[in-house]
Structure 1
Amino acid sequence: MDVVIPRRTRRTHSEAFKQSVISACIEPGVSVAGVALANGLNAKQVRRWMRERGVKPPSCRRSEAVAVSTAAPASFVPVMLSPAVAPVIRLEVQRGAARVNLEWPAEAAGACGAWLREWLA
């Protein structure tokens, strides 16, 4: 019996392919890892291609944008809140021919339970 061990071959990519991957990576809102996965590549390989060609990775570009945006002073923005509505327990109970629609304040849930047990007994 002969055992054949397959040899891994190194993949080579054309310069045009590398440039198209890099140009896809520098689009705003695109992640290098996402582009790499979509093309069957490792993200580290794509970042190396970018570094070799002098293209800044998106993380560096993003930090510059954050530095500019944080330079503006923050100001207080008041928010109008609607008045809080007290929670209510709503029940519809039918026993025989009698049907009861009930609204009970949630703060008195224990009293609602006691009334309901008494009514159903």
Structure 2
Amino acid sequence: MNTIEAAAVKGDRRRRRRHTDEFKANLVAACSRPGVSIASVALANGVNANLLRRWIEQGGQRLPSVDPVDLPRDQAKAAFVPVQLDTTPSPTASDIRIELKRGATTVIVNWPSSAVAASAAWLREILR
């Protein structure tokens, strides 16, 4: 379905695309449905999102808002829920583990995290 009245390109010179009023009205109507973003409608129809916003404003419609009043009740009453994290350190979490493989041989080196500079220097020398 071609929604553009004139061809977008004539020779090497670009021309401004002109969209039909019906096409504009269809896109504006698609944006007014709940849960639909203006950017997704614009992208799906090959139109710039800012242009589509202008069409919505020119049509006298209001842009979709994200006010809690417009949200469903279960989303409007969402609250912060604290989560308890396990703060006990695991014995291997404080180690730096480097695993080197060459063919069938594997070398695993564990460094204490307090010697991070030494492990970085060692790895730099190995990789030269």
Calculate the TM-score normalised by the size of structure 1. Answer: 0.48
Higher helix share goes to which structure? 1
Calculate the TM-score normalised by the size of structure 2. Answer: 0.46
In our comparison, the structure showing a higher alpha carbon Rg is 1
Identify which of structures 1 and 2 has the higher relative contact order when contacts are C-alpha pairs closer than 8 Å and 6+ apart: 1
